[in-house]
A = this chain, B = another copy of it.
Amino acid sequence: MVSDRGLDVLRVIVQDYVASREPVGSKSIVERHSFGVSAATIRNDMALLEEEELIVAPHTSSGRVPTDKGYRVFVDQLADHRPLTGAQKQAIEMFLGQSVDLDDVLARTVRLLSQLTQQVALVQYPSLAKSRVRHIELVPLSSTRVMSVFITDNGRVEQRLLDVTAPLDDVFLMELRSKLNASVGGLGLAEAATVLATLPEQFAVDRQSVVRLIVVSLIEQVAANRQDKLVMAGTANLVRTEEDFSGSIFPVLEAIEEQVTLLKLFSEMAVDQHGVSVSIGRENAEFGLGETSVLTSGYAASGGSLARLGVLGPIRMDYSNNMAAVRAVARYLTRLLGEE
């Protein structure tokens, strides 16, 4: 059984290893920390920790390195939840203070988070799930091509191109536009879809086919409800920490660009007691990210819609600091976007 001192040893091993990237040995522990015991004693504790698979020696005779399991214990039990420094808080204010539109806010957020953590940062766009239709706009691009723009009351904007078979004239478009807005404005997305389906009946028979075409596209657009957009920043940091990866970081970067993977990972992560969820190393193996750790937290945009943000980096990262940053940014963003 691992003693209390044993856990303290694990803590300093994680801290020192994260700071120096050197496997940490018994001697350097007694030098750098005041345990009040000798190196030999520490060695005994380390043997215990190794038995529990919390640390491991990379080769027969060198210091120890935390295992995934060791990091897990560290994160769950040992990490100190120190608050952000004043400078960091100031950075958050500065970065997000005078922002204008949603795209801009999220772009700034992701940069900020990447800068605070020195890792890859990720921010998911808020969901449309609970929102209502604010306005539908049809923009003719050419005689047979229309762009439909879809605005929800929580500020998402969806646009889509659409080719129609017969040429459209402005008068007809105008009519269609006003009927669309009159019938579904203010409705929730689910109701909007059902109402839209009945719309073609309101038009002259010779128009119905083209109206149906447009309506079908709009319904798809509504149904898509895509929470599938992700912004990312700080991929350069992966290169900086390249030595923390056994092989190349190429597959990691590829997995990151494959946003579908990340969105899936995001959605599967639970929220822990501090609002930050941590997934370490092998826990991400199924996503091709077995050599990375991911920290996420949820944030709320207006309308109660939820989304996530977080950071991704090598397993050997500063969990204390990064968890604090993720939490702080998520909270600030929630406040900024209007908790309502």
| A interface list, Cβ under 8 A from B | 99-105, 134-135, 137, 139-142, 145, 147, 149, 151-155, 157-162, 217, 221, 233-236, 239-240, 248-250, 253-254, 257, 302, 338, 340
Would A257 and B239 count as touching, CB distance under 8 A? Answer: no
Would A159 and B157 count as touching, CB distance under 8 A? Answer: yes
Report how far A240 CA is from B254 CA in the complex, Å.
Answer: 11
Extra pairs beyond A104-B160, A239-B249 (12, CB < 8 Å): A100-B161, A101-B161, A105-B161, A134-B139, A135-B149, A139-B151, A141-B154, A141-B340, A147-B155, A236-B254, A239-B253, A240-B248
Would B134 and A155 count as touching, CB distance under 8 A? Answer: no
Report how far A159 CA is from B135 CA in the complex, Å.
Answer: 14
**Contacts A155-B139, A239-B253, A257-B236: A160 and B100 contacting too (C-beta < 8 A)?**
yes
CB A253 to nearest CB in B, in angstroms, measures 4
Residue of B nearest to A233 (CB): B257
CB A175 to nearest CB in B, in angstroms, measures 16
Copies in the complex: 2
Would B151 and A155 count as touching, CB distance under 8 A? Answer: no
Lowest 5 CB-CB distances: which A-B pairs, in order? A236-B253, A101-B160, A101-B159, A100-B160, A147-B155
Residues of B within 8 A of A338 (CB): 141-142, 145
Report how far A162 CA is from B98 CA in the complex, Å.
Answer: 10
Report how far A236 CA is from B248 CA in the complex, Å.
Answer: 10
Residue of B nearest to A152 (CB): B139
Report how far A248 CA is from B162 CA in the complex, Å.
Answer: 45
Would A151 and B153 count as touching, CB distance under 8 A? Answer: no
Which one, B100, B137, B160, contacts A151 given CB within 8 A?
Answer: B137
Residues of B within 8 A of A140 (CB): 153
Residue of B nearest to A145 (CB): B338
Residues of B within 8 A of A104 (CB): 160
Residues of B within 8 A of A234 (CB): 257
Would A149 and B151 count as touching, CB distance under 8 A? Answer: yes
**Which of A100, A152, A249 is the most central at the interface, judged by chain B CB atoms within 10 Å of its CB?**
A100
Residues of B within 8 A of A145 (CB): 338
CB A328 to nearest CB in B, in angstroms, measures 21
Would B157 and A302 count as touching, CB distance under 8 A? Answer: no
**Which of A151, A217, A233 is the most central at the interface, judged by chain B CB atoms within 10 Å of its CB?**
A151
Residues of B within 8 A of A235 (CB): 235, 253, 257
Report how far A176 CA is from B152 CA in the complex, Å.
Answer: 19
Would A340 and B142 count as touching, CB distance under 8 A? Answer: yes
Residue of B nearest to A177 (CB): B135
